Structure 1
């Protein structure tokens, strides 16, 4: 077929075809009259190039797939070189995402620092700001989350063999939390000064109140320890930068764990929801004893009183009597 017909059938411009030809990806034969003649497989090759470019690959990165088709394979990703190209592209995207998240976190930190320079820095004002950060609307103004049954099968399960980054700089192995009890509370998302929450956040049942919940675990931390909790951890899908900001701003005495890949959800089937184009954890708290989930709080409501609920349960089920 001639170049015009190929362009029409493949859904591209003649200029694009010239570019692919120059790159050596689509190679026509030359007729005696000088015209280019493309073989029947050229349409699929061009479509493969466009498909992969739509997934973020460069023209050059499509070469193994085009060559795979040219070798007679029915699909461009059936060859080992194509599989390797997939892996390399995924690794490069992962590295790019990590850099973007780091740069975004740095920009947010600069924004917050600029905002704070414009605020009074007296200790009294700082204390007042802390009180406002920990405040939550009265229970009557919040929509209680319903019990969808997502937590009923968790009791008795062992925590998965995954390792998560922590705000203290360590990496915490969930299967190696140690003897005794651990309070692991999972929350959706904490806001930051100067950063908007997802649209409709306040109307989502069980979404609002994460910062107030963290303040509750902070204020009851010593009591929780005295009641038999060897460790207290908060866990969300937010990045470590977001969690570190919360730890610093609220002066939390416990460690936060970051699970942006939802590996704990995938292992245990923890409930999530979508908001503002993001997938987030639903609020749930697990009492873990020697690596096994002994008790689950779900749904959690109201969030600002939840640490007290956990404390009451620990008092009612003392470890020393087990």
Structure 2
């Protein structure tokens, strides 16, 4: 059957089928005209990947289940290897729950201790702007410093086509709980930065991650935009958003851990990358966003930062770009 028929039968998108094929999870045949010819087994495998994904397993983690189905079993977990994959994921989740619970308990103790101490009177300014209400950056948790010697990415031209393009009408649910449609974020200036992944705190980073140019530094970049948010707003930036292929629960854990004051958007299918031909790369069987930052005016891309390096000081670079733009306008109008 054709891709559209197979996707509809499996309850996935055509792009998802293509991604499963890129990961080596599906191997459809070819018809005489060269088009992919999906079999009933391909549909069953795609259904299995989708069902396991709803349970939190990544496509690469579904391999034992797919092998079990290919071996002729009625269900994908009728094999010992599948049970072992279940157990491995459960242990990773248990570790994450333990870490989050311990962090929650520490926060409760600190909150209660602060409440018992009471607070000195503070003069309130009714005209205080929202930017002044942002938390002091010196009191916020910080990501670990980046290791030295990380390889710098080179400009491969993967973003040269983006200035002047219009964002597609794609909607994502942000970590703030709201549905955000990219082409309707703001009529003014705003910033969208894309990053590869922060991943599961209970799992190791992909093998060779530090050797991939520009891959390491997502938490550090996120902290940088948090700490520069007031400066960006002072330059007329309405909003800052972050987007990656991370699952929403991973992003929420990052927001909670680092006290990020802006929404993060989960795009596991890399739909924005496909719509705008954004640069991506492969690591550990996953297709990921390359790090880049878009400056937008309304839905139109005004400027692109690509490649981004080093990520821990990138937000300072973006804030300085806005200041330079302001100075250039003042000089021009003088």
> TM-score, normalising length from structure 1?
0.65
1:160-175 paired onto structure 2 within 5 Å: 160-175=168-183
Q: Please list, as runs of the form range in 1=range in 2, the aligned pairs for 1:74-153 lying within 5 A after superposition.
A: 92-93=47-48, 95-101=50-56, 108-115=92-99, 121=106, 130-131=141-142, 133-138=143-148, 141-153=149-161
Indicate how the Cα distance of structure 1 residues 258 and 107 shifts in structure 2: closer, same or farther if over 3 A, else same: farther
Partner deviation per Cα, 1:15-74 (whole Å, 9 max, x = no partner): xxxxxxxxxxxxxxxxxxxxxxxxxxxxxxxxxxxxxxx979xxxxxxxxxxxxxxxxx9
Distance in 1 of aligned mates of 2:41 and 2:184: 35
Cα deviation for residue 88 of structure 1 reads 7.9
Q: Displacement, 1:300? A: 0.4
Aligned-residue CA RMSD (Å): 3.8
1:205-224 alignment to 2 at 5 Å?
Answer: 205-224=213-232
Q: What is the aligned partner in structure 2 of residue 178 from structure 1?
A: 186
Question: Separation in 2 of the partners of 1:232 and 1:115?
Answer: 28
Larger radius of gyration: 1
| 3-state SS of paired residue (2:55) | helix
Q: Counterpart of 2:230 in 1: which secondary structure? A: helix
- The 5 A counterparts of 1:213-292 are 213-292=221-300
- Alpha-carbon shift at residue 98 of structure 1 (Å): 3.9
Shift of 1:95: 4.9
**Alignment-derived partner of residue 322 in structure 2:** 314
Map Cα deviations across residues 173-208 of structure 1 (whole Å, 9 max, x no partner): 111112111100000011443320000001111001
Q: Distance in 1 between matches of 2:141 and 2:201?
A: 12
In structure 1, runs of 5+ residues without a counterpart are 1-53, 57-73, 75-81
**Alpha-carbon offset, residue 321 of structure 1:** 5.2
- After TM superposition, the structure 1 stretch with the greater mean CA deviation from structure 2, 298-307 or 312-321, is 312-321
Give 1:220 shift.
0.9
Cα distance in 2 for partners of 1:118, 1:296 equals 40
Alpha-carbon distance between aligned partners in 1 of 2:139 and 2:295, rounded to the nearest angstrom: 33
Runs of at least 4 residues off by over 3 Å: 85-95, 102-110, 115-123, 127-131, 318-322
Q: 3-state DSSP class of the match of 1:267?
A: helix
CA contact (8 A) 1:134 1:215 kept: no
The 5 A counterparts of 1:28-47 are: none
How many pairs does the alignment contain?
245
Structure 2 length-normalised TM: 0.63
Contact 1:105 1:241 in 2 (8 A): no
Tell me, yes or no, if the aligned pair for 2:141 and 2:259 is still in contact at 8 Å.
Answer: no
Within the candidate set 199, 210, 216, 1:202 is matched to 210
Instruction: Give the whole-Å Cα distance in 1 for the aligned partners of 2:102 and 2:281.
Output: 36
Distance change >3 Å, CA 94–CA 115, structure 1 → 2: closer
How far apart in 2 are the matches of 1:106 and 1:229? 42
* SS class of match (1:257): strand
| Runs (5+) with no aligned partner, structure 2 | 1-24, 33-37, 58-85, 111-137
Q: Deviations over 1:107-133 (max 9, x none)?
A: 65532232466789376xxx99933x3
